[in-house]
Amino acid sequence: MLETGENMNAGKPTVKTGDWATNFVHHWKYYLAPARASPSDIKFIENKIKEKIIQKGKENVKILILGATPEYRSLCAQFGVSCCCFDFSKYNHEYLTDEIKSDLKPKLKEVFTEGNWIEKDPSQQFDLILGDNVLNVVMKNDLLKLLSIVFKSLKKDGFFMPRTYIRDKDEKWTGEKALEQYRKDADAKQVKQMFTWTSRNFYLSAYDYKKEMMVLKDVWNVISALHAKKLISDEELEEYKKRSMELREFKFYIPLREDLDNMLEEFFTIKETFFGKEPYL
């Protein structure tokens, strides 16, 4: 889900960075949509950037990217707008630069800021603030703190556009149920992209609803258990193994739709909610 929120107004952090700080970024190339923005997501964001350029002129548009998302950085380079990348690791930012097409790299107009999203204020205001799964890697009890920083960093006519996983009330999945749905979809649509079609539901099958989070290694346990029961093949298991989930303590929060809307509305007016057009979303 992508939401655009317009700015209404002119303890200890729980962002888990340990796994990203080791070598998780080296496995990011194996992560496909919906872990990354889909083509329709990218098109939606592209259109919003174009709207701001028409409104203000590209030399006056300022974009903040929470993280180092190469797809978003590529869009900024494509349209010649400046952007600030705000991430906890300069190494990760530089590593992910390799994913940007060679013809776009010279067009990058980037400033990099290193820091924790819930501890450090970017100290300037932006027309667009983009975040890919940002609201999922900050735990629920720190989300309002992040949103308050985003709010202060947004111009009066600016938009915050987080792409995020959400869940519906009473939505529950098991590994077997997620796999059954995938087999049904795969047969009907003749697809063989297990990660793309199953990852969200496998995440929810490992979700701890009391702690409001799941841990990547627990997702791996669900998948490996299905393999042990011979319900998935060696090749399908490999799709997840190469994504380095097996030992990852990486925590992931998937908010209820209504909870997220309520938190966003404490700071923003929700102007639009976009759901990707691809059948796996």
Distance CA 140, CA 117 (A): 14
Q: Which amino acid is at 126?
A: F
**Residue 10: per-residue pLDDT:** 33
Residue 86's DSSP bridge partners are 66, 113
124-153 residue pLDDT tens: 999 999 999 999 999 999 999 999 999 999
**Residue 16: per-residue pLDDT:** 41
∠ CA 30-37-185 to the nearest 5 degrees? 75
Least Cα distance to 255 among 176, 93, 146, 120 occurs for 146
Give 54's Cβ-side CA count (13 Å radius): 6
**Residue 251: per-residue pLDDT:** 94
**Residue 13: per-residue pLDDT:** 33
Residue 63's DSSP bridge partners are 83, 128
Helices (H) and strands (E) in the chain, counts: 11, 9
Q: Which DSSP string corresponds to 194-245?
A: HHHHHHHHHHHHT-BTTTTBEEHHHHHHHHHHHHHTTSS-HHHHHHHHTTT-
Residue 256's DSSP bridge partners are 167
**Residues of the chain where predicted confidence (pLDDT) is lower than 70:** 1-22, 188, 190-191
Angle between helices 234-241 and 216-228 (to 10 degrees): 170
Distance CA 151, CA 144 (A): 10
Give the number of residues written for the chain.
Answer: 281
**Residue 11: per-residue pLDDT:** 34
The predicted model scores a pTM of 0.91
